[in-house]
Amino acid sequence: MMQYSIDMNIESITAMSTAALQEQASISILKQSMDSSQQAVLKLLEGMEMIQDPALGQHIDTTA
């Protein structure tokens, strides 16, 4: 009976460790994705600063 309890505890600890590792990996991937998105937005904003014509983009053609 004692061996059964120890085995269950080891399995529980292993499962928790695996879940924690998967969570850390997911967070790492999310951070990389957010960093990549941030860089893309910054490049987009830098490109918008290059636009010199203040009237550009002020009118929207709604007829199609």
Enumerate residues 6+ apart whose C-beta is below 8 A from 57: 51
Q: What is the DSSP string of 7-34?
A: HHHHHHHHHHHHHHHHHHHHHHHHHHHH
How far is residue 59 from each of residues 2, 10, 55, 56, measured CA to CA in Å?
78, 66, 8, 8
Q: What is d(CA 4, CA 57) in angstroms, rounded to the nearest whole number? A: 71
Q: Report pTM.
A: 0.57
pLDDT at 25: 96
* pLDDT for 3: 58
Low-confidence ranges of the chain (pLDDT < 70): 1-4, 52, 64
